[in-house]
Amino acid sequence: MVTKNELTAGSDVESRCLKCKQITNHIIVAMVGEKVAKVQCNVCGGRHNYRPAEPAGTAGVPKTAKKGKGQATGGRSARQTKAAADHFAEMVAGRDPALAKAYAVTATFKQGDLLDHAFFGLGLVVATTQPNKIEVIFREGGKILICVLEKPK
Ligand SMILES: [Zn+2]
């Protein structure tokens, strides 16, 4: 007997996407036996290992690398995070997120540009440092990114 609705490469499947931080539709790009191995997110286009939409018991819980000791993580309070988010909302008020340029190290940005970062999301270029650094405000705070800068006049 053959099951008709077997999943194959090219099928749609729901999977958890780490970039989108939610369950999104994915296309299966690779199978291992009868199991889905790799999928591509329809939303962000990211390829990653298949993560079932719902955790199946204790199996398949990814082991995350332990954070190194002595790293200053988690120092940011919830209040600071909210302040950063509010600040960000003010900065991009009235700006059209659709005009954001996708961030890449080879992309060109200048002060005032909106950018769309695959991981951090929407950001606003608030400062540039020659030859190749930009300071960007994201919802979660400021980051320094590398990119191509327009030559100073
Ligand atoms: Zn995604």
CA of 119 to the centre of ligand 1 (A): 10
| Average pLDDT of the segment spanning 116-144 | 92
CA of 70 to the centre of ligand 1 (A): 32
pTM for the whole structure: 0.48
Tens digit of pLDDT for each residue in 90-105?
889 999 999 999 999 8
CA of 2 to the centre of ligand 1 (A): 32
Tens digit of pLDDT for each residue in 118-127?
999 999 999 9
The predicted pLDDT at position 71 comes to: 47
The predicted pLDDT at position 20 comes to: 92
Secondary structure of the chain in HEC code, one letter for each residue: CCCCCCCCCCCEEEEEECCCCEEEEEEEEEEECCEEEEEEECCCCCEEECCECCCCCCCCCCCCCCCCCCCCCCCCCHHHHHHHHHHHHHHCCCCCHHHCEECCCCCEECCCCEEEECCCEEEEEEEEECCCEEEEEECCEEEEEECEECCCC
